[in-house]
Amino acid sequence: MDQQAFDARYQAYLDAVEEFLSGQFTKTPHWADLYDCMRYSLLSGGKRLRPILTLEFARAAGGDWKEALSAACAVEMVHTYSLIHDDLPCMDDDALRRGKPTNHKVYGETLAVLAGDALQPAAFQLILGSGLDETARAECALLLARAAGPDGMVAGQVLDTLHAPKTQLELTEVHALKTGCMIKAACLMGCAAAHAGAAVRTAAERYAENLGLAFQIRDDMLDVVGDEAVFGKPIGSDAEEGKVTFVDLLGLEGCDKAVLDATNRAKEAVAVCDESGFLAALADSLAERKH
């Protein structure tokens, strides 16, 4: 897929996601401060990687990607809740996210926690009230619940913050749960929305596993060599917190190779369904990202 075509499709997805999310939590009840707090983080930009994966896999499976928009944005709501909570003083205690003050720095810890709490059920309400058929709604909700729950993203956060992973095996497990599970859910929810066959679902799983690994290794690299103004959060925060990262274990050159290897595995996985080449181009763009 040439760069112009990739950029055009990515932008079409991005515009649709931003428009949809901008329409959420717009009422003004007397608890509107909660809505303001939720929207602050939900509309703070970012790559929107997870919803874009949902939309592209719906397309790759032969469906109408626009019908998967509610499911895609539900993934982004859960992802946003996780970022709000990750940044809290009891977790990573970060002051910047996407170049802006973190949610609790603007709204205080209490409202930040409650905004994260509210985004979770709102995501499932979005899926279950969508225009997808009953089977697709149920599967999407189950996929998201599994990915976000005690054997998925939350398990990864527990291992990351309380178990001090130090080996490559431990780090890989942490990030497969903390990052990879949600990326995998996003891909599989696109498949579910379009009632994909077994071959596409298997491709989606393998793609997601390798894309998630490459994404995290690249993230660790950017925490060392990134530009804070571009990266959107402080450089060197992992070292300050005493966290062991892939850079500590593999070095920057080793990380470069690991990102390339995982990216190539991701591209190989979707060769059966990526007729346009969008998923391969997306994997390449993430491997080279600066933020």
Tokens in use for 270?
A: 């979707």
> Environment class of residue 24 by beta-carbon count within 10 Å: exposed (0-12), middle (13-18) or buried (19+)?
middle
pLDDT of residue 99: 87
pLDDT of residue 230: 67
pTM above the 0.75 mark?
A: yes
Non-local (6+) Cβ contacts of 192 within 8 A are: 71, 136, 139, 140, 143
Ranges of the chain whose pLDDT falls below 70: 229-236, 239
Tell me how far apart the alpha carbons of residues 69 and 49 are, in angstroms, rounded to a whole number. Answer: 13
pLDDT of residue 273: 96
214 CA to centre of own chain: 13
Cβ atoms < 10 Å from Cβ of 165: 18
Largest Cα separation within the chain, whole Å, is: 54
pLDDT of residue 1: 87
Q: Where are the domains of the chain?
A: 3-287
Single out the residue of 73, 16, 281, 280 nearest to residue 193, CA to CA: 73
Single out the residue of 198, 245, 202 nearest to residue 225, CA to CA: 245
Homologous superfamily in CATH for domain 3-287:
Farnesyl Diphosphate Synthase (1.10.600.10)
Non-local (6+) Cβ contacts of 217 within 8 A are: 246, 250, 255, 258, 259, 262
Single out the residue of 174, 265, 231, 252 nearest to residue 47, CA to CA: 231
